[in-house]
Structure 1
């Protein structure tokens, strides 16, 4: 029996931030060329950059310069990642008041990522939400290592639920859960989402999956079956967390579009243009990408007829 699926899903393109943060720094001009290619695909939501320490993440050192060019794409809804109040202030000042505040559900990753404990990070939600709300923006809390941590092992689901509840109480507008090291499987995805839904009620919950162990698309499909309609994906499968050993690429935008559209779930993204954007991403970073679809093409692409032997 075919499962019940929503008529449409909103995909946030995170290639410019999550996709590039683990790469050698590329120029602002190259990022703008990639953004041009992404805009053509029909995607509406784009995570533009991260307002974080350029010493910690050199690839994001041009955050303000990139944000200054965002006006060139008025059809796009831009957001930016922040790791604390300082980043939130920078984002608002740069004209990107919609932020994703990333905090970890695991102590080991929290210390590696932002050098503070989980509880301290959760408490900062109130300050960050106030900053962006005063600037006319929104605050999404992304809970990293929601299933497993490379330092601490499995993350207790009840800990994720607890953190999500506190974040909403402190002013977060919505929640997203991230499989930072790509260890989730569909059953575990549905189990956590069911717990979150029971605890948070009508609060919007998004999801962010990595394809490190080849299960990223299966997890995304399971999340959609479970009612998630906001997903992150990265052009060409670019990505990885520099502070989580073994955290390789995100699910590829073009592969997610291929899967969902072929199942009757609208994304608003043109698959051919998304494949073209992946080629631009490959040129920008200077190496092959992990997306199989960007190499093989859409299933509707036909090869020339064989002529046979004479």
Structure 2
């Protein structure tokens, strides 16, 4: 009776939930039925219901394709590079911004660092080719003038990996630092004052106060990042990649695009998507379990 009266009294709050719930039901839960395509010989004209069940034959077909394993390897490799170099970057940037004392310069720096996040990858791809192209790129023209010669940033596989990782960090580091800056502002200022009285340097305060203060945030975001190891965006590798580096730039998202949309093999594309979701779930649960055992912190 108390619950019913509470709902009647605060009906406006529950009414506000209608649109979000409708969104998740229509666009998140109803499409789950489409996962059955992965277990059928899907025919566009017959539809999902009338298509013939084939069980795990689609998955057997995927696991027998060499191109799938190449795409899977590249997905892990590129995500691994982002995890190794891209994950610490927002943490370092947030700490550096927090240490700035000139507020005007701090605000200007934050604004300039956030901007790349709002730029489309299509535009970023054009910028990358204008800057790093072998024959006409700004960087190679400057290097050639000082006698170092052009470098194949976009055509050599190892150079392309470095370019891919660097551009990704540049695009996301500013936006990623927002969460860490928010976590840093939640640290008790009296700890810094006490450390300063004891004569602690800036590096000591960062190491003994700032980093422990944002440890929970770092662990949570790391677990989520590990859960995305098998999931990779389509636009970045597709736009920055090219034929000469296809051996490294072909990932699961471009593989799904090529197989699903270009070749019309929707069952295979759906099966790969389901594979990504299952493996991602295993990764995130494993990372959370290890974190709970070692640090007693996690997302669940």
Fold shared by both chains (TM-score > 0.5):
no
TM, length-normalised to structure 1: 0.26
Structure that is richer in helix per residue:
2
Structure that is richer in strand per residue:
1
